Structure 1
Amino acid sequence: MQKYEQEHTKAWSASVNKADAYVFVIPEYNFCPPPSFTNALNYVYNEWNYKPCGFVSYGGVSGGLRSAQVAKQLVTTLKMMPMVEGVMVQMPWEKLDDQRNFLPAEHHTGSANAMLDEMAKWATALKSLR
C-alpha cells in the first residue's frame, strides 16, 4: 500500500521508484542469492513493477549462476522482467589488481554490453506499463 512509516523505507522506495531498470550484482551462497538481496526486494513492491533487471553474479566455479537463477524467480513475483543475458564472474578474487580493482576479461565486457542492450529495449517497452 506504500504507506511507509520509517524514513529509511521512504528513502528506499524513492530510490527504487526513480530507476527504469536495474543491474543486480550478487554473490552465490549455498546456491542462493544473499538474504540482503531478498530483503532489499521485499521491502517495497510496486516500485519494482514492470522494470527490467539484469544480473552480474559471482562465485566459485559456477560464477554465481545458481544464485542468479533463484534471483530471477524471485524478481518475477515483483512483476520484473529478468534478462536472459547476464554476466558471470568465476573466481573474482583472481581478477583483482594490487589496488583490488576488478579487471574484466573480454567475455565480461561482451556479456555486460549484450545484457545492457537488452535491458534498454525492455525498459523502453515496459515504460507504458509503469
Structure 2
Amino acid sequence: MGENEYVITNILSETEVIISGGKDAGFKTSDIFLILDDDKYIKIINPKTNKVLDIVYMYKDVLKVKEIKDFYTILESEVTETYNPFAQVQVSSYADVSIRKKLNVDASQVNNVLNQRINSKIRIGDTVVKK
C-alpha cells in the first residue's frame, strides 16, 4: 500500500464505510476519496512508439468525509437527489445549453478511457485514495 493509499476497514451501511487514516493522516472534512479497483486499469499508449503515457485506474465510487477520528475516518456516499417534501409549487428555470460540433471519428474506436468509474462491488480491504 502506497503512502497516500488507505483501505476500507468496515462497511457500516450501503452509504457509509470506515477507512484507515484519520487525523494522523492529515485528513480534512473537505477531502474527497476514490475507491479504486486495483485489478482494473487502462494504459494510455502512444500507438507509434508503444510508450506508455499514463495508467488510468478505474474506481468504484467517490466518497466524502463524514467524520474524522484520530486513526480512522467515516466516509459517506454522494447525495444523488435532494427534494423538499413540503414544497407546494415547482418553479421551472431555464439555462443556456451548449452543444458541441461532433468530430468525424471512427465510432468503433471511441472509448473514453478517462471515464474511470466501474460497477464493481465495494469490499473490505479495497484501496482508497484522496482525489
TM-score greater than 0.5 by the shorter chain = no
Query: In proportion to residue count, which structure has more strand?
Result: 2
Which structure ranks higher in relative contact order (CA pairs < 8 Å, sequence separation ≥ 6)?
Answer: 2
TM-score w.r.t. the length of structure 2 is 0.22
Query: In proportion to residue count, which structure has more helix?
Result: 1
Q: Which has the larger radius of gyration?
A: 2
TM-score w.r.t. the length of structure 1 is 0.22
